[in-house]
Structure formats: structure tokens, C-alpha cells
Amino acid sequence: MARLVMKFGGTSVANIERIRNVARHVKREVDAGYQVAVVVSAMSGKTNELVGWAKEASALHDAREYDAVVASGEQVTSGLLAITLQSLGVDARSWQGWQIPISTDDAHGSARIQEVDGTALMARLDAGEVGVIAGFQGIHLPSGRITTLGRGGSDTSAVAIAAAIGAERCDIYTDVDGVYTTDPRVVPKAKRLDRIAFEEMLEMASLGAKVLQVRSVELAMVHQVRTFVRSSFEDPDAPHMGTVEAAGTLICDEEEIVANQMEAQVVTGIAFAKDEAQVSIRRVEDKPGIAASVFVPLADAHINVDMIVQNVSSDGRYTDITFTVPTADYERAKDVLTKAKAEIGFETVEGATDVTKVSVIGIGMRSHAGVAADAFKALAAKGINIRAITTSEIKISILIDAAYTELAVRTLHSLYGLDS
């Protein structure tokens, strides 16, 4: 019998009424013949309450104890959902991370899953019981201590469980009904994608589409877990809810997308990030090792660098280097570079915080020439100045003035035929 993982976040289990709604979603899939494992987050607000207490107890708290405290939130929800399922006549039991076990490393507070032993869980699923798994938590087996996976960890739990039990699909129920071609608040004509490739979703997620945590998408890609993003607030018994079509967005392998499309889409979506700042170093001496001399001090200061643009120097002696950093680290990044000025050797460091990175994403662009050129032409026609460009196989990122964000996103959305 096919297995299914269903994951529900904090707002979906915020109170008993909503937990009852979740239970109806689960019952629908059980009635449809699936063996179901459900992964739940803590009731919304509870994790913050627990974190608040831990901080009040001590600003410098032991991450192992922090984990013991905050993991309790998911424990509560798992038990409550199991009780609610039973009240609907669905056989169910709760599983804590240590009971499965979901073994992790000992990086408490942001542990990484090392192995999920699905044996015991599958035996109970085979016996017709729904497994309700506390998300976000695991166990460091050598020490026997409870670990947590960090923010968004329940998505990762769900994907890891799905991989361990060979689930047909991992359904992520959330407060949006899928992944859109871009932010619908910026482009009302944005449309929900039926399918998106793992690689594309990774770019969408890391570029600001907040639907899924990057690490859960990475895990899904590595283990080829078909992950379905859908809304938890719809009527659980609406006719379309039992189908993958028309109910959300399926994140899957490229081949499955190709197989389901008459003609491949070149561009899948337009993402944008407003929280990056541009730093430019002028007249850097163009010699071997110069990039390292710039970026090692920034890495040492734990500043994440995103876009990096270094052009070939025109005179063979000097070049300019431009990159982006989180806006919050902008001043610190300039300080770090100014202090290292003697070692690096440059004229000035300047930059801007009122910039936006707009990205065009699509696996189809691998086999299509001119995608980037089309973008540059369209932006130029609207009088939008391009500050910097970086590209990868499936992505073109363009840095522009923040004031032009909406105009640029709408222009590109139309350009690539994404408007509904």
C-alpha cells in the first residue's frame, strides 16, 4: 500500500479546532487507502513562549537544555493530534524523535539529521495505524540527548521521514496554497505553478520565496522526495483535495515536469530579494590571490556574501569587485574591508543599501539562448539601470535600484509569458 507523509505547521495546529481540521485532512487520505505518517509543528506561539523562558532563565543558555525545553512543543501537538484522530475512528499514535529514532548530530539548536530508522514506524503503518510524528526534533544517539533542527525544521523532518519510509509523496500543508511564479502582492497576475523542479525551488526558496526552508528542499532533491505544497485551510473534504492537480504545487524531478508538459517552460519564476546591499571595491590591484584577500576577512567576520562580480581588468593592472551582503551586515562589511585596505590594496570602498536583486529562474534556460539578453533589453526599455549581473545554468540575477523593484519584476513576469 502506498505511503504518504503529511506535514502541518504551527498555524494549522494552533488550537484544538484547527487540530480537528487537520485530523479530517488525515482521515481523507486514510480513507483513500494511504498509509499515513503525519509530521506536526508546535502550536503557533508555543515555541516562542518556550524560547522566551529559556532566554529569561539565562541569555547564554546551554543549547542541549534549550532543545529539551523547546522540543516539548511538538510533543504536545503530536499527542493531541493522535487523540483527535482516534476520536474520528482513525487508529493513531504519537512518535517523538527519540522514539523513531531520528538520529542527528550534536549541533544542538540546529542539528542535522544523520539517519531516520523507519523500521518501527513502518511496522505500525503496515498494521494500519497512522503515525503522528513530532517535527523539529531528533536525538543525538551517543549522548541520548534531545536535539532540535532549528527554524523550519519540521519541513526537514517531514522530508526525511518520507525518504525513510519510501513515501509516494510528502505533502506540506501551509498557509499558502502553493508556489507562485512570483510574489502575488507585487504581480497580481502571478499564477500558481502546478510543478516546479527541485533545483528551481532551491533558487526560489533561497531568493526569498518563503514557502519552504532551503534545507528541506535540498534533502528532497537528494532523496528524490516528491514534495507537494498545499493549503491547510481549505475544506478537507472538498472534491479537489484528493488530487495533486489543482490543489497546490508539486516540487519534483525535472523529468516528471517534462513528462507532464507539452512544451517546456523556459522560465519558471521571478524571485527578488530586497534585503541585500551592494559593496564595490574600486581600483583593486589585479593580481593572483586578490579575491581571497577580499573574501577571507569577510568570511572570518561571518558575513555571508551572495552575488560576486569581478570583471576582467581593462588595463591589466586594476579591476573593480562588486558583491552583495545582507543589509544588516553592510556597515560591518565596509569596516572589515577598510581595516584590510593595506593588505588588499585598493582605492575606495563604496556601495548602496537601496538595491534589489531580481532573479529569473528556470531549468528551461539551459537549452535556450537569449534568455538573459531578452531580460536586459526589456529592462532597458523601461529605463531601469542594471548595477550588476550574475548568472548560473538555471538563473540570471540582476542588481537594480530598489525603487524599480516592482516595475522590473512585472516587466520580466510578462516578458517570459508568466502572466495568467
| Contact residues for its own copies, defined by CB under 8 A | 16, 19-20, 50, 53-54, 56-58, 60-62, 64-69, 71-73, 75-76, 78-80, 82-84, 86-87, 93-94, 96, 98-99, 144-146
C-beta closer to its own copies: residue 13 or 409 = 13
What type of residue sits at position 386?
I
User: Closer CB to its own copies, residue 236 or residue 351?
Assistant: 236
Which CB, 84 or 268, lies closer to its own copies? 84
Please give the full DSSP string across 239-273, using - where no structure is assigned: GGGGSSTTTEEEEE-HHHHHHT-SS--S--EEEEE
Q: Is 377 annotated as a binding residue?
A: no
Burial 248-263 (b: 16+ CB within 10 A, else e): bbbbbbbeebeeeeee
Q: How far is the CB of 145 from its own copies (least distance, A)?
A: 8
Residue 74 labeled ligand binder: yes
Shortest distance, CB of residue 114 to its own copies, whole angstroms?
Answer: 19
Nearest CB to its own copies, comparing residues 86 and 327? 86
Could you give the strand order of the β-sheet that contains 113-116, starting from the edge strand earlier in sequence?
Answer: 113-116, 102-104, 137-140, 145-148
Nearest residue (CB) to its own copies, 102 versus 271: 102
Fill in the amino acid letter for 231.
Answer: S
What minimum distance in Å lies between the beta carbon of 193 and its own copies?
36
**Residue 317 is assigned to a ligand binding site:** no
Q: How far is the CB of 375 from its own copies (least distance, A)?
A: 51
Q: Name which of 17 and 315 has its Cβ closer to its own copies.
A: 17
* 397 neighbors 278 (Cβ within 8 angstroms): no
Question: Is 8 part of any known ligand binding site?
Answer: yes
Q: How far, CA to CA in Å, does 153 sit from each of 148, 209, 227, 391? A: 8, 17, 15, 30
Task: For residue 272, give the nearest of 173, 378, 187 by alpha carbon.
Answer: 187
Min CB(146)–its own copies separation in Å: 8
- Provide the minimum distance between the beta carbon of 163 and its own copies in the complex, in angstroms, as a whole number: 23
**Of 188, 195, 187, which Cα lies nearest the Cα of 248?**
195
286 is in an annotated binding site: no
> Is 312 marked within a binding site?
no
Give the span between the Cα atoms of 74 and 85, in whole angstroms: 16
Bridge-based pairing state of the strands 145-148 and 169-174: unpaired
Enumerate the known binding-site residues for substrate. Answer: 47, 74
Enumerate the known binding-site residues for ATP. Answer: 7-10, 174-175, 180, 185, 210-211
Enumerate the known binding-site residues. Answer: 7-10, 47, 74, 174-175, 180, 185, 210-211
